[in-house]
Amino acid sequence: MTELPERRLLLVHAHPDDESINNGATMAAYAADGARVTLVTCTLGERGEVIPPGLAHLSGAALGQYRLGELTAAMRALGVDDFRLLGGPGRYCDSGMMGLPDNDDPDCFWQADVDEAAGHLVEVIREVRPQVLITYDENGGYGHPDHIQAHRVAMRAVELAADAGLPIAKVYWNRVPRTVGEQAFARLQDALPELPFTKTAVLDDVPGVVADERITTVVDGTAHTAAKTAAMAAHATQIEVSGEYFVLSNELAQPVFTTEYYELVRGQGGRTAPETDLFAGIEEAR
């Protein structure tokens, strides 16, 4: 049996591009430090809106395959070798935005049996034995059905893995502290005249914004800013990047966060607060 690296991090995301926006700096930092970083993406984002006019013809399965290529390029930029599709490519398809008829497609992730989907994730957990798992909160950060379902599947897999003797020491949810977000959007307003974007989003458009006191863990990934922005730019059907800012298909500018924030929801934290290491407390307990 191949010996596992000392540190093992598992991230569970809904679509290609979510990982780079939310955790790109974290993934790059831990990969560079020798940790095993594993990404599980639950769908290929077949119903995503396409930004470049030259790619507007892509939809459905063709868009999913194209986005898989974008994900491959993004992982190369972050230095991450281990990335997978939940249950294998095409097992679950994009559910579309909440309230659309797409949500009723029996093959979409929103309609998936949670225990069955969690079982696929437990297979990954059994192989890579992560000590740390990152996913979304119970609202999926912003209410997208695939994000909510990714949360449900990830949290259920944590329970099933523990029952199988494969406990995960720490579970985190993606967060942005409100004051940090407010400051970043203030800088964005100042920078807007020099950007290729004309309008800005608002802070509440950003997934996972919470009061500062909810933040338990701060990962300074500024040394990996170039890797994160390159990974985001690799998802060209979904993201346009300009320096420290980006837009999605709604053309509303947002800041790129290269210090990334988390809320520890299961497990014991380190001795200092906030933590600056997702693995804090694990080595201390050992």
In a domain, 95, yes or no: yes
List, run by run, the mean pLDDT of 10-residue segments along the chain (286 residues).
85 98 98 98 98 97 98 98 96 97 97 98 98 98 97 98 98 98 98 97 97 98 98 98 97 98 96 94 65
Give the pLDDT confidence score for residue 5 in this predicted structure: 83
In a domain, 190, yes or no: no
Rounded CA separation 261/219 (Å): 6
Domain total of the chain:
1
Task: List, in order, residues 6 or more apart from 225 with CB less than 8 Å away.
Answer: 25, 256, 258
Rounded CA separation 144/138 (Å): 11
Residues tagged in the binding site annotation: 15, 18, 147
Burial class of residue 54 in the structure, from the number of CB atoms within 10 Å of its CB (0-12 exposed, 13-18 middle, 19+ buried): exposed
In a domain, 37, yes or no: yes
In a domain, 46, yes or no: yes
In a domain, 219, yes or no: yes
CATH number of the domain to which 146 belongs: 3.40.50.10320
| Domain around 52 | 8-176+208-236+260-266
Give the pLDDT confidence score for residue 286 in this predicted structure: 46
Residues tagged in the binding site annotation for Zn(2+): 15, 18, 147
Rounded CA separation 133/166 (Å): 13
In a domain, 244, yes or no: no
How much is the pTM? 0.96
In a domain, 16, yes or no: yes
In a domain, 195, yes or no: no
Give the pLDDT confidence score for residue 284 in this predicted structure: 52
